[in-house]
Amino acid sequence: MFKKRIVLWLLPLFVLLFAFLVYLPTSSFAGIPVLNYHQINDESHNALTLSSHEFDAQMAYLKKAGYTSISPNQLFDYLESNTPLPPNPVLITFDDGYEDNYRVAYPILQKYGLTATIFLITDFINTNNRYLTWTQVKEMQDQGLNFASHTLNHAILTKEADDSLQAQLVKSREALEYQLKQKVEFLAYPGGFYNQHVIAMAKKAGYRGAFTINFGRNYKHPNLYSLNRIPIFYANHTFLHFGLRLKFTQELLALQNFKNYLRNFGAITVANWIPTI
């Protein structure tokens, strides 16, 4: 009995060491991180909101650590054609287009000389006071921010009939192109829901690629319609969690995958001992 307990206590330590060693070659110093935010304000206290202080601290870290914010076009040129990127590239993204992206996040980005990409729900722009206006969008565009599609009304694309799915993809892109006077080639799936049919429809609708909320970094020659991001949500708002998720993305992904494997295998107790962030 005593030996059994020792084995059970030591097993998680060996699992952690094994996962770290296996994934070290593809760890923090490889792949392109894409950060995923939603709301930035000091009023809301929900799963999608960071405080202004938290966001400022994270952007200050990126600046001090020598990260360079890039655009989706730069990321895709690298992934497709190996076009060189600047040192320590990071793509900063926001989903939905909340008004606090202009009121709170935008000044902080300017403060540190960083840019970002905002995926807009186009039917909500100018019609819902929780979201951006076209005037705000155009001002940010003039200052170097990028904008892309998050569909017309945040529809779950995997549940849409083909006619509706096509409208969500095409009409949102057309609205952005009409307002911004430039080509729009990128999409973020609402809620992170997609499948092979949605991908096929996104290609048909003229998108160059699309982003999920799947945790991980991005490497050359991936499926360009299922790119990973690093969600910065309520459960990982602390600066420590942010730093770990940014620097050790693949190690944390390895641990989570192994944890899921142990759970599926029936080793629930052991799986629960493995930390994930």
pLDDT tens digits for 61-78? Answer: 999 999 999 999 999 999
Q: CB–CB of 115/146 below 8 Å?
A: yes
Q: CB–CB of 27/251 below 8 Å?
A: yes
pLDDT tens digits for 114-168? Answer: 999 999 999 999 999 999 999 999 999 999 999 999 999 999 999 999 999 999 9
pLDDT tens digits for 3-39? Answer: 455 545 555 555 555 544 554 444 445 799 999 999 9
Read off the pLDDT of each residue in 233-261 and give the average, rounded to a whole number: 72
Predicted confidence at residue 266, as pLDDT, reads: 73
What tokens were used for 205?
């609708």
Helix ranges restricted to H, 45-194? 52-64, 72-81, 100, 106-111, 134-142, 162-180
For 76, 107, 154, 238, 272, the CA distances from 234, given in Å and listed in that order, are 29, 22, 20, 9, 21
Read off the pLDDT of each residue in 187-206 and give the average, rounded to a whole number: 97
Q: Phi/psi at 177 (nearest 5 deg)?
A: -65, -35
Question: What's the CA gap between 98 and 189, in Å, rounded?
Answer: 16
Predicted confidence at residue 238, as pLDDT, reads: 73
Predicted confidence at residue 145, as pLDDT, reads: 98
Q: CB–CB of 261/240 below 8 Å?
A: no
Question: What's the CA gap between 82 and 113, in Å, rounded?
Answer: 25
**What residue ranges do the domains of the chain occupy?**
33-237
pLDDT tens digits for 42-66? Answer: 998 888 999 999 999 999 999 999 9
Tell the CATH superfamily of the 33-237 domain.
Glycoside hydrolase/deacetylase (3.20.20.370)
- Give the CA radius of gyration of the chain: 20
